[in-house]
Amino acid sequence: MMPTVSINIDVDDLEAGVAFYAAAVGLTPVRRLGDFAVELSGAQAPVFLLRKAPATLAFAGAAVVRDYARHWTPVHLDFLVEEIAGALGRALSAGARAESAIEAYPWGKMALLADPFGNGFCLIELDAAGYGAIATPYVQREH
Q: How long, in residues, is the chain?
A: 143
Position 142 in a domain: no
Say how far apart CA 92 and CA 108 lie, in whole Å: 20
Q: Are 70 and 112 in contact (CB under 8 A)?
A: no
101 inside domain = yes
For residue 126, give every residue at least 6 positions away whose Cβ sits within 8 Å of its Cβ, in sequence order, or none.
80, 107, 108
Whether 15 is in a domain gets the answer: yes
Ramachandran angles phi, psi of 103, nearest 5°: -110, 145
Q: What is the CATH number of the domain that holds 116?
A: 3.10.180.10
Q: Which domain holds residue 45?
A: 7-54+76-133
Query: Does the residue 14 lie in any domain?
Result: yes
Question: Residue 34: inside a domain, yes or no?
Answer: yes
In the chain, how many domains are there?
A: 1
Within a domain: 98: yes
In a domain, 126, yes or no: yes
> How do the pLDDT tens digits run along the chain, 143 residues long?
889 999 999 999 999 999 999 999 999 999 999 999 999 999 999 999 999 999 999 899 999 999 999 998 888 999 999 999 999 999 999 999 999 999 999 999 999 999 999 999 999 999 999 999 999 999 999 88
Tell me, yes or no, whether 140 lies in a domain: no
Sign of torsion, CA 67 71 76 80? positive
pLDDT at 9: 97
